[in-house]
Structures are given as C-alpha cells and as structure tokens.
A and B are shown apart, each in its own frame.
Chain A
C-alpha cells in the first residue's frame, strides 16, 4: 500500500484517516455494547425473579476488593487517556510511561480478581457439584478468613433468605454463574486489552508514535475505556444489590 509519511494512500488527509479509524472502532464497540447488553438483560430478569438469592450472593462478595478494583480500573483509564494525549503532543517518553502505568494497573486488577476468585473456590461458591451457599455458615472453621461479626451477619441473612426462597442454593448458584460469566468475560476483554497495550508499548519504545501518527494509541484507548465502562456497570450490578441490610 502506498504510504506518504503517516498518511496511507486511500486517504486525502491525516484527519480523514483518523476519523475513519475512529468510526470503524466505534462500530465495533457498538457490537460489544449489544453483546454485554444482552448478558446484562438476562442478568436483570434473573435478578428480579430470584431477588433474595441474588441479594444473598451479592452480599457474600467482598465490597472492599470490588471497590478497590473499580478505583484501579478508573485510574488505568486516566493513564490511558494521558498516553493518548502524550502521543497527540509527540511526548515520546511520556507515551511509554503512561502505557506502562496502564499495563501495571491492569495487572493490579488481575491480581485482585485472582484473590477474589480464589476466595470463592475456597468458600464453595463456584457453580457446580460442590456449590453450597451455606458452606461457610455450616463449617466456619474452614472459612477462617471471614471474621466473626461478618459470619454472624451472613448466618442471619441466610436464614431470612432461605425462608423467603425455599430453593435458595440453586438460585444463588444462578447468581454466581452470572458473576463468573460477567466478570470472566470482562476479564477476558482486559486480557486482550493488555495484549494490545504490550504491542503499543513495543511500538512506542521504537518511537513510532507522534502527533501525526497515533491512531493505534487512540483506537486501543477507545477499547480500554469501553472495558472500563463495562466495569462501571458491573460493579453496582454485582456488588451493590442489597448492602443496606
């Protein structure tokens, strides 16, 4: 393909080239909106139908870890936006710095997610044969990471919920399927995003991005911010269903 500087042959100007790339990325992001939208819709219907089980499941998540991850992901969106600004203003070493920070924050998110998932395996809260929402209440010695006050509260909530919903365990399993499905797909998007960020990092170290050519930084930025938006919705939907009890 014929290329003059940063301008590919099929475009008249750099602006046209940039607008075309941005438009294409947005069309892709709209398909992603429909993808996550459909999943959240299914979640909403189940949540309304089995409210007690979903509220109970939500309260067994760690608000501290979820909230911390929300802050981490928002911060990574900020560093990504700054990487885009650095490339638009040709600050080459800053591009590398901000891309590295974005990757770092992404990995902090993965680390926290690992701790959360491990906890759920430990507490028998992973959908499947051994799923048991009553596990920690019935065998508290095996869940020593939950302190006594939280355990007492959980026991009380479980008793109320089990009265309201006789099939609580099955429906709580549905909540946890939604939890792992939605956070898992979100994490998969982040893994893809992190892969793209590593590629950008390599290119930026080679000094390829400047005010004229920064489309890849901009486009990956759009993707990263979209993944952040998905989490902006997942956090209240999954962690904050029924916290006020």
Chain B
C-alpha cells in the first residue's frame, strides 16, 4: 500500500529559519499597519496578516504540507467547520430583528461607529 511506503519528509533548518524570519517580519508589518488609519479595514488587514502567519506555521512548522492526504482532509474539515460557525453566527447577528422589530444593536452601533470615525 502506498501509505506504508510514504517516508518521512525532514524539513531543513534553513527552511525553518526562513519561516521564522518571515513570521517576525509579518509581526512588524502588522504593528506598523495598526498605526495607519484604514477605517474599517484595519481589522481586515490585521486578520489577513495573522492568517498568512498561521498558514506558514501550519504548513511548515507543523509539516502539514508534507502530511498524508487524509491528515490534510482533517485540517481542511476543521477550518471549514470554523468558517461555518463564524459565517452563520455573524450573518445571523448582522441581520437579526428581535420581537419588538428592533435590529440587533450590532448593526446600529457599527453604523454610528463608522460615522464617528469619518
């Protein structure tokens, strides 16, 4: 069987060094970006950089890139389930109208927050 012939991939120290230096550089960039006023996109940029960092850690430090297909499937299923949790809950909160016909405060406060911040 092919999975039994799969030999362990050893990631080289040079590769680990490249990844850690990239992670440190991205940490610098995320702090730098936080001091620029991007309005509502500050959080988007911050989470995007964090996701790039997390992806590097998963693929190289955690060897997911060299893992068998079924391990990759478990990882992807986990991310998919997390996406379901976040997407469905947040879309519910963003669109909810309660029994009095009042929108959930989130949307109201978001809109006045954005006005306040120009």
Residues of A within 8 A of B (CB): 12-13, 15-16, 18-19, 22-23, 26-27, 29-30, 33-34, 37-38, 41, 44-45, 48-52, 63, 67, 70-71, 74-75, 77-78, 80-82, 85, 88-89, 164, 218, 221-222, 225-226, 228-229, 232-233, 235-237, 240-244
Contacts and interface: CB of A to CB of B under 8 A. Distances in A.
Contacts of A232: 50, 53-54, 57
A77 B61 contact: yes
Most buried by B among A13, A18, A48: A48
Contacts of B4: 12-13, 15-16
A16 B1 CA distance: 11
B6 interface: yes
Q: Which 7 A-B pairs have the closest CB atoms?
A: A30-B78, A236-B46, A240-B34, A78-B20, A243-B34, A244-B37, A37-B82
Contact of A50 (B19, B20, B37, B109): B109
A4 to B, nearest CB: 16
Nearest to A31: B78
B62 A222 contact: yes
Contacts of A226: 62
A221 B62 CA distance: 8
Looking at chain A's contact residues, is the secondary structure mostly helix, strand, loop, or mixed? helix
Interface string B31-44: 10011111000110
A19 B35 CA distance: 44
Nearest to A89: B10
B7 A15 contact: yes
Interface residues of B, number: 61
27 contacts: A15-B5, A18-B8, A19-B6, A19-B67, A23-B74, A30-B78, A33-B79, A34-B85, A37-B85, A41-B90, A45-B90, A50-B109, A70-B27, A71-B24, A71-B27, A74-B27, A77-B23, A85-B16, A88-B8, A88-B10, A221-B61, A232-B57, A235-B30, A236-B47, A236-B49, A237-B46, A240-B31
Contact of A49 (B17, B42, B75, B106): B106
B37 to A, nearest CB: 4
Interface string B80-118: 011001100110010000000000011001101100100
Contacts of A41: 85-86, 89-90
Contacts, number: 151
Interface string B52-77: 01100110111100011011001101
A189 B19 CA distance: 23
B34 A244 contact: yes
Nearest to A11: B4
B24 A74 contact: yes
Contacts of A81: 11, 16, 60-61
Contacts of B24: 71, 74
B11 A85 contact: yes
A67 B24 CA distance: 10
Contact of B86 (A37, A77, A221, A237): A37
A9 to B, nearest CB: 16
A89 to B, nearest CB: 7
Contacts of B57: 77, 225, 228-229, 232
B113 A51 contact: yes
A77 B30 CA distance: 19
Contacts of A233: 47, 50, 54
